[in-house]
Amino acid sequence: MPVLRRVAVNGTELNVAIDGSGPAVLLLHGFPHTWELWTDIMDGLSDRYRVIAPDLRGFGASSPATSGYDAAGLAEDAAALLTELGESSASVVGIDAGAPAAFLLALRHPDVVRRLVVMESVLGGLPGAEDFLADGPPWWFGFHTAEPRLAETVLEGHEATYIDWFLRTGTLGDGVPSAIRDAFVRAYTGTGALSRAFSYYRALPESARQIAQGVATTRLTVPTMAVGAQPVGTALERQLRPVTDDLTGHVIEGCGHIIPLHRPHALLELLKPFLAGECTTTA
């Protein structure tokens, strides 16, 4: 069972789940998740790795924060977290909102990131996702970034219904275990929790600038795996291929956006050989 710790980084405190021993693997969740997103993945990796899964800045049981939700800010939180936990390097896995932070961490600190896995996200600032975005970004991007506090005001008192929509859609209707669903609903209930979650979306233009500036002068040199499902598919892989030296791409068929909960065993079949340095490259 994971142990929960409070770890101070960059002026805030992160709630961090830690399990196992060995080389470090850092797991970065997205919206509307907490560290519990990784429950099955932690169980599957903890026999060989020290698996570290924080609630991102301002999310879940981490302390409220008024700023730092851009990709670079979250990346620096991740770097500081590893330092505080005594880890000089780690393999890093990010999904959704966690993927841009994981990407920038690897781009800026290749000495810290041994291997990188990014899933079900598109990276603002990089071309290649035009087909995915042909009809515009997903509708909730605009809703979450609309007039200040509009989304919070509309959703207050209806958070469970809203979160349930994402969980059903992200698992192609299958849903998630009730205990995890309840943890997510608790984490995103209240205007303060919603505002912090939507701060990630409101920081997307700045995150895109950070990514564009980064790849203008630096290539991603660490071994990288892009994993897609429905709806992102191969879009992230296409974005990464021109700027990455060593890229593996996979799509998990019959899997929704919330890969670690919907198809954890299929994900572990990809993660285990990749983290161990075995070849998993696909055409």
Q: Is 13 helix (H, G, I), strand (E, B) or coil?
A: strand
Question: Which residues pair with residue 142 across a beta bridge?
Answer: none
Query: Which among 103, 77, 80 is positioned nearest to 92, based on CA atoms?
Result: 103
> Degrees (nearest 5) of the Cα angle 9, 10, 14?
35
Report the chain's mean pLDDT, rounded to a whole number.
96
Q: Is the pLDDT of residue 234 over 80?
A: yes
Q: Residue 281 has what pLDDT? A: 44
Q: Residue 1 has what pLDDT? A: 87
Look up residue 8 and give its DSSP letter: E
> Degrees (nearest 5) of the Cα angle 200, 205, 210?
95
| Residue 94 and residue 69 in contact, taking contact as beta carbons nearer than 8 Å | no
Question: Which residues pair with residue 119 across a beta bridge?
Answer: 95, 227
Q: Residue 269 has what pLDDT? A: 98
pLDDT 10s digits, 115-126: 999 999 999 999
Q: Residue 283 has what pLDDT? A: 34
Q: Where are the domains of the chain?
A: 3-133+207-275
Q: What percentage of residues in the chain have a pLDDT greater than 70?
A: 98
pLDDT 10s digits, 46-84: 999 999 999 999 999 999 999 999 999 999 999 999 999
Q: Is the peptide bond before 231 cis (omega within 30 degrees of 0)?
A: yes
Rounded distance between C-alpha atoms, residue 30 and residue 72, angstroms: 15
Q: Which CATH number fits domain 3-133+207-275: 3.40.50.1820, 3.40.50.300, 3.40.50.2300, 3.40.50.970?
A: 3.40.50.1820
What is the average per-residue pLDDT within 18-34? 98
Residue 144 CB coordination number (10 Å): 21
Q: pLDDT: is 16 or 149 the higher one?
A: 16
Task: State the amino acid at position 245 in one-letter form.
Answer: D
Which helix (H) or strand (E) segment is 40 a member of? helix 39-45
> Degrees (nearest 5) of the Cα angle 239, 196, 229?
35
Q: Is the pLDDT of residue 148 over 80?
A: no
* String of DSSP letters for 105-144: HHHH-TTTEEEEEEES---TT-SS-TTTTTT-S-HHHHHH
pLDDT 10s digits, 262-276: 999 999 999 999 999
Q: Is the pLDDT of residue 282 over 90?
A: no
pLDDT band at 3 (very low <50, low <70, confident <90, very high): very high
Q: Is 208 helix (H, G, I), strand (E, B) or coil?
A: helix
| Residue 191 and residue 272 in contact, taking contact as beta carbons nearer than 8 Å | no
Residue 127's contacts (CB-CB under 8 Å, 6 or more residues apart) are 239, 242
Q: Residue 280 has what pLDDT? A: 44
